[in-house]
Chain A
Amino acid sequence: MISYSFAYRRAKSLTEAEALFANSPEAKFLAGGQTLIPTMKMRLANPPELIDISGLKELSFIRVDGQTLVIGAGTKHHDVAVSAEVMGTIPALAKLAEGIGDPAVRYMGTLGGSLANNDPAADYPAAALALGAAIKTTRRTIAANDFFVGMFSTALEDGEIITEVSFPIPERAAYAKFDNPASRYAMAGVFVAKSKIGVRVVVTGAGPSVFRVPDMESALAKSFTAEAIKCIKIDADGLNSDIHASAEYRAHLVSVMAARAVKAAAA
């Protein structure tokens, strides 16, 4: 399959990427391309220009700043999965990265691309929201709380590029997902974290965008055990329903994944 024609530009810096966009406001930024390119091949997207930011070294790094893990937006899933810094601070995040797509996709796909795309079944948005991440862009810093607006929709403005993401290091965290056996996307994934901001339970794959489960959060704040959330059911109303799973099935999966994540985090 061949995409529509477009003009390819390789940006040598973030400044150049922004300048290129200013001249071509319908352009798309190309990071890992593992969603954008298949979408273009299906001719569901038709950008006149692609601005390639995948080669920008300034976007690819992992560092620990005191109690915060900072990851450059252009960092590949593979590099997060094998990073000693990530495993030493937020091992749940390394494990999450290792479960995205398949090895070839993980060599290309990026943290920033995953957050900016905000696929309803993507993994990283759940971690960002549960850990209370700060998403830094070329223009400002956006709290994860305000970032994920809806299905494939974020607070990013046109031409705004994510540069890095700061994850406060939690006391404990874990991610459990039930992945679609073909695509490896989450049919339901739950990221549980206990940190300075309290306990957060965030669900991906089940609804139009990531969402928190306040009932589970307050129960876990009292007692951080799988037992504490055993009787908490999720309302299937408004959840995704497709050929892979009904809304009721996804609601059930959320409870099961939440219990598994709590068990893993508490271990």
Chain B
Amino acid sequence: MAVVTMTVNGKAVSAETEDRTLLVYFLREQLRLTGTHIGCDTSQCGACVVHVDDRAVKSCTMFAVQAEGADVTTIEGLAKDGKLHPVQEAFRENHGLQCGFCTPGMIMTAVDMIRRKPQLDRETIRHELEGNICRCTGYHNIVSSIEDASKRMAGGAK
């Protein structure tokens, strides 16, 4: 057991956990932040993507103790003052989700993608999404959502 301290969505959190606890279980079961999903649990599907120190990583492939001292952002931390993040807004408007299970990971990946590559075309978006699986196969609108979001954010929305 270890006491792990990190910042999650801007708040300092500290909790006792087993060394083998994966970051995704720490977030979901100890902090009750259930927006981050567990899909495949084998590092393939990307439903569990969160940001650790501004990098989008799979929280099922990292132990919570590794995030000691880190700044973690989950899907719950994106909206500010009751206003959706532009990527969330774009997913809503472009119907970028069907069942919605993969959506938190898709959005966290998209935010990171847009930050790295402000100029995104559809082919690049598809390539960048190779670590995120939508089992509804709803990729068409997911790509449209990210394309739309990148345009909005280039226009100044943050």
Interface residue ranges, A against B (CB under 8 Å): 1-8, 10, 30, 33-34, 37-38, 41-42, 50, 52, 54, 78, 101-105, 107-108, 182-184
- Please state if A10 and B131 are interface contacts (CB–CB under 8 Å): no
Query: B51: shortest Cβ distance to chain A, in Å?
Result: 10
- Please state if B58 and A1 are interface contacts (CB–CB under 8 Å): no
Scoring B22, B55, B66 by chain A CB atoms within 10 A of each residue's CB, the highest score goes to B66
- Taking a contact as CB atoms closer than 8 A, the residue among A10, A33, A104, A184 that contacts B109 in the complex is A104
Residue-wise, chain B 125-156 has the 8 Å CB interface mask toward A (1 for contact) of 00010111000000000000000000000000
Query: A5: shortest Cβ distance to chain B, in Å?
Result: 6
Query: B58: shortest Cβ distance to chain A, in Å?
Result: 5
- Please state if A103 and B56 are interface contacts (CB–CB under 8 Å): yes
- Please state if A107 and B20 are interface contacts (CB–CB under 8 Å): no
State the CA gap A183–B41 with chains docked (Å): 14
State the CA gap A52–B61 with chains docked (Å): 14
Query: A180: shortest Cβ distance to chain B, in Å?
Result: 11
Given A105-B58, A105-B131, A184-B130, A8 contacting B2 (CB threshold 8 A): yes
Is B44 among interface residues, defined by CB-CB distance under 8 A?
yes
- Please state if B62 and A6 are interface contacts (CB–CB under 8 Å): no
Q: How extensive is the interface on chain B, given as a class? A: 20 to 34
Q: For residue B128, which residues in chain A have a CB less than 8 angstroms away from its CB?
A: 103
- Please state if A108 and B131 are interface contacts (CB–CB under 8 Å): no
Query: A13: shortest Cβ distance to chain B, in Å?
Result: 17
Q: For residue A107, which residues in chain B have a CB less than 8 angstroms away from its CB?
A: 55-57
- Please state if A101 and B131 are interface contacts (CB–CB under 8 Å): yes
List of 3 A-B pairs having minimum Cβ-Cβ separation, nearest first: A102-B131, A8-B19, A107-B55
Q: For residue B58, which residues in chain A have a CB less than 8 angstroms away from its CB?
A: 104-105, 108
State the CA gap A4–B68 with chains docked (Å): 21
Interface residue ranges, B against A (CB under 8 Å): 2, 18-20, 22, 25, 41-44, 46, 49, 55-58, 60-63, 65-66, 68, 109, 112-113, 128, 130-132
- Taking a contact as CB atoms closer than 8 A, the residue among A37, A103, A182 that contacts B61 in the complex is A37
Q: Apart from A102-B130, A104-B131, what are 7 other A-B pairs with CB-CB below 8 Å? A: A5-B18, A10-B65, A10-B68, A30-B66, A102-B132, A103-B113, A105-B61
Query: B122: shortest Cβ distance to chain A, in Å?
Result: 17
Query: A259: shortest Cβ distance to chain B, in Å?
Result: 23
- Please state if B109 and A103 are interface contacts (CB–CB under 8 Å): yes
Given A1-B41, A3-B20, A102-B46, A108 contacting B130 (CB threshold 8 A): no
Can you spell out 27 A-B residue pairs with CB atoms less than 8 angstroms apart? A1-B41, A2-B22, A4-B20, A8-B19, A8-B63, A8-B66, A30-B66, A33-B66, A37-B61, A41-B42, A42-B42, A50-B19, A52-B66, A78-B55, A102-B46, A102-B130, A103-B56, A103-B109, A104-B46, A104-B49, A104-B131, A105-B58, A105-B61, A107-B56, A107-B57, A108-B62, A183-B44
State the CA gap A244–B20 with chains docked (Å): 32
Q: For residue A52, which residues in chain B have a CB less than 8 angstroms away from its CB?
A: 66
Given A102-B131, A104-B49, A2 contacting B20 (CB threshold 8 A): yes
- Please state if A8 and B65 are interface contacts (CB–CB under 8 Å): yes
Query: A96: shortest Cβ distance to chain B, in Å?
Result: 15
Query: A88: shortest Cβ distance to chain B, in Å?
Result: 20
